[in-house]
Amino acid sequence: MTFAIAFPMIDPVAVQLGPIAIRWYALAYIVGLVGGWHYIKYLTKKFPGNITHEHVDDFLFWATIGVVIGGRLGYVLFYNLDYFAANPGAILQVWKGGMSFHGGFLGVVVAAILFCKKHKLPMMTFGDLIACGAPIGLFFGRIANFANSELYGRETDVAWGVIFPNGGPNPRHPSQLYEAAMEGLILFIIMFIISRRETLRHSSGLFIGLFIAGYGIARSIVETVRQPDAHIGYLSGGSTMGQWLSIPMILIGIALMVMALRKNKEEA
Protein backbone atom coordinates (compact mmCIF):
# COMPACT_ATOMS: atom_id res chain seq x y z
CA MET A 1 0.00 0.00 0.00
CA THR A 2 1.29 3.45 -0.91
CA PHE A 3 0.99 6.09 1.79
CA ALA A 4 0.22 9.65 0.80
CA ILE A 5 -0.61 12.96 2.43
CA ALA A 6 -3.76 14.69 1.23
CA PHE A 7 -3.23 18.24 0.07
CA PRO A 8 -4.52 20.64 2.75
CA MET A 9 -7.77 22.12 1.46
CA ILE A 10 -7.24 25.76 2.36
CA ASP A 11 -9.29 28.52 0.77
CA PRO A 12 -6.81 30.28 -1.55
CA VAL A 13 -8.44 33.60 -0.64
CA ALA A 14 -7.24 34.84 2.75
CA VAL A 15 -9.37 38.00 2.88
CA GLN A 16 -12.29 39.05 0.70
CA LEU A 17 -13.08 42.78 0.69
CA GLY A 18 -15.97 43.14 -1.72
CA PRO A 19 -14.58 42.58 -5.22
CA ILE A 20 -11.01 42.59 -3.90
CA ALA A 21 -9.59 39.17 -3.02
CA ILE A 22 -6.31 38.90 -1.11
CA ARG A 23 -4.83 35.46 -1.69
CA TRP A 24 -2.49 33.45 0.54
CA TYR A 25 -0.23 33.18 -2.51
CA ALA A 26 0.27 36.95 -2.60
CA LEU A 27 0.57 37.21 1.19
CA ALA A 28 3.41 34.68 1.24
CA TYR A 29 5.40 36.79 -1.21
CA ILE A 30 4.68 39.93 0.81
CA VAL A 31 5.79 38.28 4.07
CA GLY A 32 8.99 37.13 2.36
CA LEU A 33 9.80 40.61 1.08
CA VAL A 34 9.00 42.28 4.41
CA GLY A 35 10.93 39.66 6.40
CA GLY A 36 13.99 40.05 4.20
CA TRP A 37 13.68 43.83 4.43
CA HIS A 38 13.76 43.84 8.24
CA TYR A 39 16.70 41.42 8.36
CA ILE A 40 18.70 43.53 5.90
CA LYS A 41 18.03 46.62 8.02
CA TYR A 42 19.43 44.74 11.01
CA LEU A 43 22.59 43.87 9.05
CA THR A 44 23.32 47.43 7.91
CA LYS A 45 24.95 48.14 11.30
CA LYS A 46 27.37 45.24 10.82
CA PHE A 47 28.40 45.61 7.16
CA PRO A 48 30.69 48.37 5.84
CA GLY A 49 29.64 50.95 3.25
CA ASN A 50 27.55 53.48 5.24
CA ILE A 51 24.31 51.93 4.01
CA THR A 52 21.45 53.23 6.15
CA HIS A 53 18.00 52.00 7.13
CA GLU A 54 16.56 54.68 4.85
CA HIS A 55 18.41 53.18 1.88
CA VAL A 56 16.94 49.76 2.66
CA ASP A 57 13.45 51.24 3.10
CA ASP A 58 13.66 52.94 -0.29
CA PHE A 59 14.98 49.82 -2.01
CA LEU A 60 12.06 47.65 -0.86
CA PHE A 61 9.85 49.23 -3.51
CA TRP A 62 12.54 48.81 -6.16
CA ALA A 63 13.06 45.16 -5.19
CA THR A 64 9.32 44.45 -5.29
CA ILE A 65 9.04 45.86 -8.80
CA GLY A 66 12.17 43.93 -9.86
CA VAL A 67 10.86 40.62 -8.48
CA VAL A 68 7.40 40.93 -10.03
CA ILE A 69 8.42 42.22 -13.45
CA GLY A 70 11.59 40.14 -13.72
CA GLY A 71 9.96 37.00 -12.36
CA ARG A 72 7.04 37.21 -14.74
CA LEU A 73 9.10 38.12 -17.80
CA GLY A 74 11.56 35.35 -16.95
CA TYR A 75 8.74 32.81 -16.90
CA VAL A 76 7.35 34.15 -20.17
CA LEU A 77 10.72 34.09 -21.94
CA PHE A 78 12.33 30.97 -20.44
CA TYR A 79 9.38 28.65 -19.94
CA ASN A 80 6.33 29.41 -22.09
CA LEU A 81 7.12 31.96 -24.80
CA ASP A 82 4.91 30.36 -27.49
CA TYR A 83 1.81 30.43 -25.29
CA PHE A 84 2.24 34.04 -24.16
CA ALA A 85 3.09 35.19 -27.68
CA ALA A 86 -0.31 33.84 -28.72
CA ASN A 87 -2.03 35.13 -25.54
CA PRO A 88 -0.27 38.39 -24.56
CA GLY A 89 -3.09 39.37 -22.21
CA ALA A 90 -2.22 36.38 -20.00
CA ILE A 91 1.18 37.91 -19.19
CA LEU A 92 -0.49 40.22 -16.65
CA GLN A 93 -2.41 37.40 -14.93
CA VAL A 94 0.25 36.88 -12.24
CA TRP A 95 -2.33 35.63 -9.72
CA LYS A 96 -2.69 32.45 -11.77
CA GLY A 97 0.94 31.55 -11.06
CA GLY A 98 3.95 31.44 -13.32
CA MET A 99 6.99 33.19 -11.88
CA SER A 100 10.62 32.41 -12.65
CA PHE A 101 13.20 32.77 -9.90
CA HIS A 102 15.96 33.33 -12.45
CA GLY A 103 13.96 36.16 -14.00
CA GLY A 104 13.11 37.62 -10.60
CA PHE A 105 16.76 37.44 -9.62
CA LEU A 106 17.82 39.34 -12.74
CA GLY A 107 15.08 41.88 -12.06
CA VAL A 108 16.43 42.55 -8.56
CA VAL A 109 19.99 42.76 -9.89
CA VAL A 110 18.96 45.44 -12.39
CA ALA A 111 17.00 47.29 -9.69
CA ALA A 112 19.99 47.15 -7.29
CA ILE A 113 22.43 48.46 -9.92
CA LEU A 114 20.17 51.40 -10.77
CA PHE A 115 19.50 52.09 -7.08
CA CYS A 116 23.19 52.07 -6.14
CA LYS A 117 24.07 54.40 -9.02
CA LYS A 118 21.32 56.81 -8.01
CA HIS A 119 22.37 56.91 -4.34
CA LYS A 120 26.14 56.43 -4.94
CA LEU A 121 26.33 53.30 -2.78
CA PRO A 122 29.02 50.58 -2.91
CA MET A 123 27.37 48.13 -5.28
CA MET A 124 28.99 44.90 -4.09
CA THR A 125 28.44 45.61 -0.40
CA PHE A 126 24.83 46.53 -1.04
CA GLY A 127 24.49 43.33 -3.03
CA ASP A 128 25.93 41.33 -0.13
CA LEU A 129 23.25 42.73 2.17
CA ILE A 130 20.46 41.91 -0.28
CA ALA A 131 21.87 38.40 -0.75
CA CYS A 132 21.77 37.76 3.01
CA GLY A 133 18.06 38.56 3.13
CA ALA A 134 17.10 36.84 -0.12
CA PRO A 135 16.71 33.30 1.35
CA ILE A 136 13.90 34.61 3.55
CA GLY A 137 11.97 35.69 0.48
CA LEU A 138 12.73 32.39 -1.22
CA PHE A 139 11.45 30.40 1.74
CA PHE A 140 8.05 32.08 1.75
CA GLY A 141 7.93 32.15 -2.04
CA ARG A 142 8.24 28.35 -2.15
CA ILE A 143 5.59 28.05 0.56
CA ALA A 144 3.40 30.13 -1.75
CA ASN A 145 4.10 27.69 -4.60
CA PHE A 146 2.99 24.82 -2.36
CA ALA A 147 -0.16 26.65 -1.26
CA ASN A 148 -0.97 27.35 -4.91
CA SER A 149 -0.46 23.67 -5.81
CA GLU A 150 2.08 24.52 -8.49
CA LEU A 151 5.64 23.43 -9.31
CA TYR A 152 5.07 20.10 -7.58
CA GLY A 153 7.38 17.11 -7.88
CA ARG A 154 7.33 13.87 -9.79
CA GLU A 155 5.26 10.87 -8.78
CA THR A 156 6.70 8.96 -5.83
CA ASP A 157 6.01 6.23 -3.31
CA VAL A 158 7.77 7.91 -0.37
CA ALA A 159 5.69 8.14 2.81
CA TRP A 160 5.51 11.95 2.63
CA GLY A 161 4.25 12.10 -0.95
CA VAL A 162 1.39 14.56 -1.45
CA ILE A 163 -1.65 14.18 -3.69
CA PHE A 164 -1.99 17.60 -5.27
CA PRO A 165 -5.47 18.59 -6.49
CA ASN A 166 -4.23 19.33 -10.01
CA GLY A 167 -1.43 16.75 -10.10
CA GLY A 168 -3.36 13.57 -10.79
CA PRO A 169 -4.39 10.72 -8.47
CA ASN A 170 -0.89 9.59 -7.47
CA PRO A 171 1.27 11.10 -4.70
CA ARG A 172 4.10 13.38 -5.71
CA HIS A 173 7.22 14.82 -4.13
CA PRO A 174 6.38 18.11 -2.37
CA SER A 175 9.35 19.65 -4.16
CA GLN A 176 8.24 23.16 -3.23
CA LEU A 177 8.90 22.29 0.42
CA TYR A 178 12.26 20.77 -0.45
CA GLU A 179 13.18 24.06 -2.12
CA ALA A 180 11.85 26.06 0.83
CA ALA A 181 14.18 24.06 3.07
CA MET A 182 17.28 24.11 0.86
CA GLU A 183 17.09 27.45 -0.95
CA GLY A 184 15.49 29.18 2.00
CA LEU A 185 16.17 27.79 5.47
CA ILE A 186 19.49 25.98 4.97
CA LEU A 187 21.01 28.68 2.76
CA PHE A 188 19.92 31.35 5.24
CA ILE A 189 21.55 29.50 8.15
CA ILE A 190 24.83 29.09 6.25
CA MET A 191 24.94 32.76 5.31
CA PHE A 192 23.95 33.81 8.83
CA ILE A 193 26.83 31.84 10.36
CA ILE A 194 29.35 33.22 7.87
CA SER A 195 28.08 36.79 8.28
CA ARG A 196 29.02 36.67 11.98
CA ARG A 197 32.72 36.86 11.00
CA GLU A 198 33.74 40.49 10.62
CA THR A 199 36.61 39.78 8.22
CA LEU A 200 34.25 38.02 5.84
CA ARG A 201 31.73 40.86 6.00
CA HIS A 202 34.46 43.04 4.50
CA SER A 203 34.96 40.64 1.57
CA SER A 204 32.77 42.54 -0.87
CA GLY A 205 30.94 40.19 -3.18
CA LEU A 206 31.40 37.07 -1.03
CA PHE A 207 27.77 36.83 0.04
CA ILE A 208 26.48 37.55 -3.45
CA GLY A 209 28.59 34.67 -4.73
CA LEU A 210 27.56 32.37 -1.88
CA PHE A 211 23.89 33.04 -2.47
CA ILE A 212 24.09 32.62 -6.24
CA ALA A 213 26.10 29.40 -6.06
CA GLY A 214 24.09 28.05 -3.12
CA TYR A 215 20.82 28.62 -4.88
CA GLY A 216 22.10 27.07 -8.10
CA ILE A 217 23.28 23.95 -6.30
CA ALA A 218 20.06 23.57 -4.27
CA ARG A 219 17.87 24.11 -7.33
CA SER A 220 19.87 21.61 -9.38
CA ILE A 221 19.42 18.96 -6.70
CA VAL A 222 15.68 19.51 -6.28
CA GLU A 223 15.19 19.45 -10.05
CA THR A 224 15.96 15.72 -9.92
CA VAL A 225 12.54 15.18 -8.29
CA ARG A 226 10.63 18.23 -9.53
CA GLN A 227 8.15 17.74 -12.35
CA PRO A 228 9.33 19.66 -15.42
CA ASP A 229 6.81 21.86 -17.22
CA ALA A 230 4.73 19.71 -19.56
CA HIS A 231 5.34 21.95 -22.57
CA ILE A 232 9.13 21.76 -22.06
CA GLY A 233 9.71 18.31 -20.59
CA TYR A 234 13.19 16.90 -20.19
CA LEU A 235 16.16 18.27 -22.08
CA SER A 236 19.47 16.64 -23.06
CA GLY A 237 20.40 13.66 -20.89
CA GLY A 238 17.24 13.91 -18.80
CA SER A 239 18.18 17.37 -17.51
CA THR A 240 15.67 20.18 -16.99
CA MET A 241 15.45 23.86 -17.89
CA GLY A 242 15.89 24.75 -14.19
CA GLN A 243 19.21 22.89 -14.10
CA TRP A 244 20.48 24.52 -17.29
CA LEU A 245 19.63 27.97 -15.93
CA SER A 246 21.35 27.13 -12.64
CA ILE A 247 24.69 26.08 -14.14
CA PRO A 248 25.87 29.63 -14.97
CA MET A 249 24.71 30.76 -11.52
CA ILE A 250 26.93 28.18 -9.84
CA LEU A 251 29.96 29.13 -11.94
CA ILE A 252 29.45 32.88 -11.48
CA GLY A 253 28.85 32.44 -7.76
CA ILE A 254 32.05 30.46 -7.25
CA ALA A 255 34.01 33.02 -9.28
CA LEU A 256 32.65 35.89 -7.16
CA MET A 257 33.55 34.11 -3.92
CA VAL A 258 37.10 33.38 -5.08
CA MET A 259 37.63 36.98 -6.20
CA ALA A 260 36.18 38.39 -2.97
CA LEU A 261 38.35 36.21 -0.73
CA ARG A 262 41.44 36.86 -2.84
CA LYS A 263 40.91 40.62 -2.71
CA ASN A 264 40.31 40.53 1.04
CA LYS A 265 43.54 38.57 1.55
CA GLU A 266 45.54 41.06 -0.54
CA GLU A 267 44.15 44.00 1.42
CA ALA A 268 44.75 42.37 4.82
Residue pLDDT, tens place only, 143-178: 888 888 888 999 999 999 999 988 888 999 999 999
CA distances from 22 to 43, 76, 77, 210 (A): 31, 24, 27, 35
Q: Count of alpha carbons within 13 Å of 3, Cβ hemisphere only?
A: 3
Question: Which H/E stretch holds residue 7?
Answer: none
The whole-number pLDDT of residue 1 equals 44
pLDDT greater than 70 at residue 95:
no
pLDDT at residue 184, as a whole number: 95
| Residues linked to residue 162 through DSSP beta bridges, in sequence order | 5, 172
The per-residue pLDDT of the chain, averaged, comes to: 88
Binding-site residues from annotation: 142
**pLDDT digit string, tens, across residues 219-260:** 999 999 999 877 778 888 889 988 998 999 999 999 999 999
Phi/psi at 123 (nearest 5 deg)? Answer: -65, -45
**More confident: 251 or 15:** 251
